[in-house]
Amino acid sequence: MPPRALIVGLAGARLSAAERAYLEGADPWGVILFARNVESPDQLKELTAEIRDGLSRADAPILIDQEGGRVQRMGPPHWPAYPAGRRIGELYTIDPQAGLEAAHLAGRLIATDLAGAGINVACIPLLDLRLEGMDQVIGDRAYDSDPEIVTALGRAAAEGVRAGGCLPVIKHMPGHGRVLCDTHYALPVVDLAAHQLRRTDFAPFRELRALPLGMSAHVVYSAFDSERPATVSPSIITQVIRSEIGFDGLLMTDDISMQALDGAVEQRACAALAAGCDIVLHCNGDAHEMERLAEAVPHLSGRALERAEAALAALDGPAAPAAPAADVTYERLQALLAKAA
């Protein structure tokens, strides 16, 4: 039987007996890790091996948010501190070629770090726009306010991630930069007209629609659905993400335990799947919620299963071309960033 349409978090740095039993019984498609799960390279390699042993799938997706800046689950002293997207965007405005090299190099170095620890999915690039006056939940995580710059740097970063041995995830579809509150705590509403959204927020996702993995946004776009956020909106997923943007990869939700969504966690999951998401992402490691999700969330089937299989096949396929520069080091990345200091 195919795995369940679910990605779950874990409570700590060791896989408990109860969590192992859960992985064996519920069979989620993958696991997402956070700073609470990370202590050292050896510990992390042991944890990822235990996860895959529990799932009995050598290619089971293990994900992590490793953007750089303030969103970096693996950091010093064991791993480098990577730059926030804004720093790479600022470099691009000064020297576009250096910016593209830095985006590719950061993606590649991050993926190399992850692959060395047994992680095969990097939840980057972030394709949201950095817009003045908006909530800083995105803020300096984003490359720029210009969709063309975000597209160029996002493409370079995604190619770097593939060159480093991981799968990238484009997020947060169809755009999260234009919000006035943090989706961890509240539900934002974007009232911009549809034609303006198509030209701005949606554009980077449309340009990178061929990538195999994407993540939804818990954001209401009133031009398309005045009540429901994208994650649980059939019209936004069908009309915007699948049709207008043209994304046919595996669409996972953003974390369904965020307060932007209403209802019990299993109701949120079912609403997201009914709306057209392929996979439910549940991050907090709460065992009781995870058990309820195992009962409510079905196994992958149909197009969702095909998309999941295609994503893993892309991981096994040829990696993106290596960077032209032979110097694939953190020191080279620092030297590039110094140009914009």
Using the predicted structure, report yes or no on whether residue 98 has a pLDDT greater than 60. yes
Burial bucket for residue 78 (CB in 10 Å: 0-12, 13-18, 19+) = middle
Strand partners, 66: 72
- Residue 255 is predicted with a pLDDT of 96
Q: How many CA atoms lie within 13 A of 62 on its CB side?
A: 29
Integer Cα distance of 196 and 164 in angstroms: 36
Whether residue 198 has pLDDT greater than 70? yes
Could you tell me the pTM of the whole model? 0.95
- The predicted pLDDT at position 295 comes to 98
Query: Mean pLDDT over residues 97-124, rounded?
Result: 97
d(CA 158, CA 195): 27
Q: Mind listing the pLDDT tens digit for each residue in 4-44? A: 999 999 999 999 999 999 999 999 999 999 999 999 999 99
Which is higher by pLDDT, 183 or 52? 52
Report pLDDT digits (tens) over 248-287. 999 999 999 998 899 999 999 999 999 999 999 999 999 9
Q: Are 242 and 215 in contact (CB under 8 A)?
A: no
Closest alpha carbon to 215 in 167, 180, 263, 181: 167
Report pLDDT digits (tens) over 113-161. 999 999 999 999 999 999 887 878 888 999 999 999 999 999 999 999 9
pLDDT tens readout for residues 219-251: 999 999 999 999 999 999 999 999 999 999 999
pLDDT for residue 100: 97
Q: Sign of dihedral through CA atoms 71, 77, 78, 80?
A: positive
Which single residue is written with the structure tokens 């726009």?
129
Residue 199 φ then ψ, to 5°: -80, -20
Per the listing, tokens 């720029």 go with 144
Structural domains present in the chain: 4-338 (3.20.20.300)
CA 317 to chain centre: 20
Distance CA 105, CA 107 (A): 5
Residues designated as active site = 184, 254
pLDDT score of 316? 76
Amino acid 180: pLDDT:
80
Predicted local confidence at residue 169, as pLDDT: 99
For 291-337, the pLDDT digits (tens) are 999 999 999 999 999 999 999 999 876 555 555 555 789 999 999 99
Reply yes or no on whether the pLDDT at 181 is more than 90: no
Inter-residue contact 121 to 61 (CB < 8 Å): yes
The predicted pLDDT at position 319 comes to 56
CA distance 28 to 20: 12
What's the pLDDT score for residue 266?
A: 97
